[in-house]
């Protein structure tokens, strides 16, 4: 049997490095954020060819925080693919907005630009194209439709870390890119994690404010 994912094998192949990193963090006492997270954010931003990367606790919260930073909420509609993980939809619902599910391309299984166009209403505020199985959505068409309609584009890159579209990293094409480091993803964490990336300094600041606010509420 060929497994879809095998986190244990990934751990075993990098066991010494992982345990050394954990030991270093534990001995420093920086159990939340700290220099390791900051360094990872910088490295990830550079890898994706964007200016800003903000680490969060999960890919789901990355999507939620992205939508909140764009001031999307009750009364707004967000178009996304019907063929996606529950997290994409639940993130929209968590903001109070309404998810509008559209069909996918029959060959690549990513969101159909034609269906996006047909689903736009006066309430539509954003589109979440989902890059699935490492295959990017048709971002030229998605961005063209979004620009014509004055819509935000939030890329769901949970299954596409490292994928490129016409020479550009997924997540760097729309207004915001959201990533997941769930253990079964192609860059899995020992636990869970997520990342938001953007070229926009104002959005990066809004992410930080949203993260701080959520932290205060949880605390």
The per-residue pLDDT for 217 is: 41
Per-residue pLDDT tens digits for 160-212: 999 999 999 999 999 999 999 998 888 888 888 999 999 999 998 887 776 66
- Looking at the predicted structure, is the pLDDT value of residue 109 above 80? yes
Residue range 113-119: mean pLDDT, rounded: 97
Q: Are 158 and 59 in contact (CB under 8 A)?
A: yes
The per-residue pLDDT for 28 is: 87
Q: 51-218: which CATH topology? A: 3.40.640
The per-residue pLDDT for 213 is: 58
- Provide the Cα torsion 81, 83, 87, 88; round to 10°: -10
Per-residue pLDDT tens digits for 30-86: 888 888 889 999 999 999 999 999 999 999 999 999 999 999 999 999 999 999 999
Contacts of 136 (CB under 8 A, 6+ apart): 110, 160, 163, 164, 165, 170
The per-residue pLDDT for 83 is: 95
Q: Report the C-alpha gap between 109 and 83 in whole angstroms.
A: 7
Break the chain into its structural domains and give their ranges.
51-218
Angle at Cα 10 formed by Cα 4 and Cα 13, nearest 5°?
A: 140
Contacts of 84 (CB under 8 A, 6+ apart): 130, 132, 156
């Amino acid at each position: 049997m060929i497994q879809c994912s095998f986190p244990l094998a990934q751990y075993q192949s990098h066991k010494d490095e992982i345990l050394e990193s954990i030991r270093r963090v534990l001995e420093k006492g920086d159990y939340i954020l700290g220099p390791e997270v900051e360094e990872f954010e910088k490295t990830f931003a550079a890898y994706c060819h964007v200016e800003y990367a903000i680490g969060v606790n999960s890919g789901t919260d990355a999507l939620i925080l992205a939508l909140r930073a764009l001031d999307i909420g009750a009364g707004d509609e967000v178009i996304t693919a019907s063929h996606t993980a529950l997290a994409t939809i639940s993130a929209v619902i968590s903001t109070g907005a309404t998810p509008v599910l559209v069909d996918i391309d029959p060959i690549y299984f990513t969101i159909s630009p034609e269906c996006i166009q047909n689903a736009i209403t006066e309430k539509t505020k954003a589109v979440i194209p989902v890059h699935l199985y490492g295959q990017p959505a048709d971002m030229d068409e998605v961005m063209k439709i979004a620009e014509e309609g004055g819509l935000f584009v939030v890329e769901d890159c949970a299954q596409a870390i490292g994928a490129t579209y016409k020479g550009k990293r997924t997540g760097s094409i729309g207004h915001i890119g959201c990533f997941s480091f769930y253990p079964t993803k192609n860059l899995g964490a020992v636990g869970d994690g997520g990342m938001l990336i953007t070229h926009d300094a104002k959005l990066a600041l809004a992410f930080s404010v949203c993260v701080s606010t959520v932290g205060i509420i949880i605390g």
